[in-house]
Amino acid sequence: MKTLVFFGAARRKGHTKAMVDLLIEHLDGEVEIIDAYREPVKPCIDCRYCWRVNGCSIKDDMQDIYKKIEEADNVVFASPIYFHSITGPLKTMIDRLQVYWAAHVRKDKPEGFQRKGAMLLVGGAPDFEDQFLGGDIVLRNVFNDINAENLGMVTLANSDVDSIDSRPEVKEEIIALAKKMNEANK
């Protein structure tokens, strides 16, 4: 089983990384982390090349990332929530997944799920209604475009005060999500 984690946090040792590490600890198979803050990926330029060709006109590290998505059994997006959505560098990468959305236009979108998906989201503020809605909407739609079945989302609110160490129920949810991903890929 191969898992590709899109890591959208600026802090390499923060709460998002702690959640990713716990998930990885309980996942079977190989795991690769793509660090959105440190990958030299340019933004989408809306040239619509991908409307005609199954590929992107921008030749940068995204070309390798497309291959890794195709080889992945699982795709995980992990991000803090900044102003009600995922971080900018992660969104830049997601915008480059336009290649997958454009399969609707090209009429070559594969049917059914080809991989599994999961989300790990962190919010600094105390828990409030719809705190993670923006990130959830973006990522659910990405999963649809990359033909990934969304197996779930684990959130950590109030991370300015709490951590997964002070919130054992969040740890349990992450471990349960990893087990669900393992089972779904058997």
pLDDT in tens, 40-91: 999 999 999 999 999 999 999 999 999 999 999 999 999 999 999 999 999 9
The number of beta carbons lying within 10 Å of the beta carbon of residue 5 is: 22
Q: What is the dihedral of CA 142, 75, 85, 176, to 10 degrees?
A: 120
What rounded mean pLDDT belongs to the chain?
97
The number of beta carbons lying within 10 Å of the beta carbon of residue 133 is: 12
Q: pLDDT digits over 90-140, tens only? A: 999 999 999 999 999 999 999 999 999 999 999 999 999 999 999 999 999
- pTM for the full model? 0.97
Structural domains in the chain, CATH included, are: 2-184 (3.40.50.360)
Q: pLDDT digits over 139-183, tens only? A: 999 999 999 999 999 999 999 999 999 999 999 999 999 999 999
Query: Residues 31, 5: contact at Cβ < 8 Å?
Result: yes
Q: pLDDT digits over 7-23, tens only? A: 999 999 999 999 999 99
Categorize the per-residue pLDDT at 186 as very low, low, confident or very high, splitting at 50, 70 and 90.
confident
